[in-house]
Amino acid sequence: MRTIIIVEEMNKIKKTKQREAILEILKNTKSHPTADEVYQKVRQKIPRISKGTVYRNLKLLTENKEVMKIDTGGTEGRYDARVENHYHFRCESCGKVFDVDVPVDTELDKKVSQKTGFNITHHVLEFRGFCSDCQKKAIISPSGDKNKEEV
Amino acid sequence: MRTIIIVEEMNKIKKTKQREAILEILKNTKSHPTADEVYQKVRQKIPRISKGTVYRNLKLLTENKEVMKIDTGGTEGRYDARVENHYHFRCESCGKVFDVDVPVDTELDKKVSQKTGFNITHHVLEFRGFCSDCQKKAIISPSGDKNKEEV
DNA sequence: AAGTAAATAGTAATGAGAACTATTATTATA
DNA sequence: TATAATAATAGTTCTCATTACTATTTACTT
Ligand SMILES: [Mn+2]
Ligand SMILES: [Mn+2]
Ligand SMILES: [Zn+2]
Ligand SMILES: [Zn+2]
């Protein structure tokens, strides 16, 4: 009787056109789309793709670090093919998310690690406010008008 | 016929023991509880309180800036009676959230505002990694054991 | 070409949170 | 204090993002 040690019993990941299409879409957009937005886009190429497939592959791609999930700001996750750590800005009016290209402060992680004793792997930084478009659109309503009433 | 101008037709907020109990709980904890955790806690004082009441009041208190909602890190919102901006650390193993007391970099907001043209009101910063407890608990499994197999 | 295991489409289930509604509690007023 | 007005509650249903399930299809191995 021979003894065989199987060193690695790895799950083999098969290449599919669905997953490739999803990755391609994320590589070609800067808008940080939600799962549903990715779904709408990929349907143009693969009309019979199911939403479950989109979710499953977004998760897989995230686990494999081929894309990153932005989990800040409420309910919907957003996806980003730019996988190295970087910062974002989220408009509190329209909800759009933009890249903010200032250097990532890795020293801060070390500093806080020292101070707190936590093992810090990274940090997530999101700026909030109003984007250029929403600033333009903002209409200052005449003071009090809404709640004035004649009796 | 007299003309009366009602300058302000304000929604009057009534004081309730439910809302006061919720606020009290948040003021007396540092653990950044979820809505459900607040619900479990407040039931000890008001057993017949409903979950909807907890959600509604957490929203109201957040709108009134008496508490703040932490909306980073996935699905569940967490609540914090410390309302001035400050940073957090989230353990990626147990999910606990801790305060990180380093000064908030408001200059960064100005800098990014200038650079991008966004009207930035604030930023949200969350450190990620493993808390002290989870570092201790971590057991390094003998290399490959899990996937070794005898045939 | 045949065998296998992973991935898919389609559908059902889950779970956080919001909406709805009849009843109750709080505040204003006579 | 009694009465009236209306905000808030309890309990329930609904919504919506995401995951789980399952029979069928597809990709890779031999
Ligand atoms: Mn990005
Ligand atoms: Mn805090
Ligand atoms: Zn905007
Ligand atoms: Zn932990």
Mean per-residue pLDDT for B15-44? Answer: 98
| Packing angle of the helix pair B51-63, B35-43 (nearest 10 deg) | 120
Domain with CATH 1.10.10.10 in chain B: 14-82
**Ligand closest to the CA atom of residue A135:** 3
pLDDT digits (tens, 9 = 90+) for B55-104: 999 999 999 999 999 999 978 999 999 999 999 999 999 999 999 999 99
Tell me if the domain spanning B14-82 has CATH number 1.10.10.10.
Answer: yes
CB-proximal residues (5 Å) to ion ligand 4:
B 91, 93-94, 131, 134
Please list the ranges in chain A whose pLDDT falls under 50: 1-8, 141-151
- Closest by Cβ to B129, choosing from A10, A71, A120: A120
Domain with CATH 3.30.1490.190 in chain B: 84-140
Q: What is the pLDDT of residue B28?
A: 98
Q: What is the pLDDT of residue A1?
A: 45
Q: How far is ligand 2, taken at its centre, from the CA of residue B81, in Å?
A: 8
Q: What is the pLDDT of residue A123?
A: 98
Residue B9 confidence (pLDDT) above 80:
no
Dihedral, A17, A18, A24, A26 alpha carbons, nearest 10:
-170
Mean per-residue pLDDT for B121-133? Answer: 97
Contacts of B144 (CB under 8 A, 6+ apart): A7, A8
Q: What is the pLDDT of residue B141?
A: 44
Q: What is the pLDDT of residue A17?
A: 98
Contacts of A47 (CB under 8 A, 6+ apart): none
Answer yes or no: do A123 and B124 touch at CB < 8 A: no
Reported as a pLDDT band with limits 50, 70 and 90, residue B115 is very high
Q: Which of A98, A145, A147 is nearest to A126 (CA)?
A: A98
Rounded mean pLDDT of chain B?
88
Q: What is the pLDDT of residue B10?
A: 61
Q: In the CATH hierarchy, which top-level class contains the domain B84-140?
A: alpha beta
Q: Which of A82, A77, A40, A41 is nearest to A59 (CA)?
A: A77
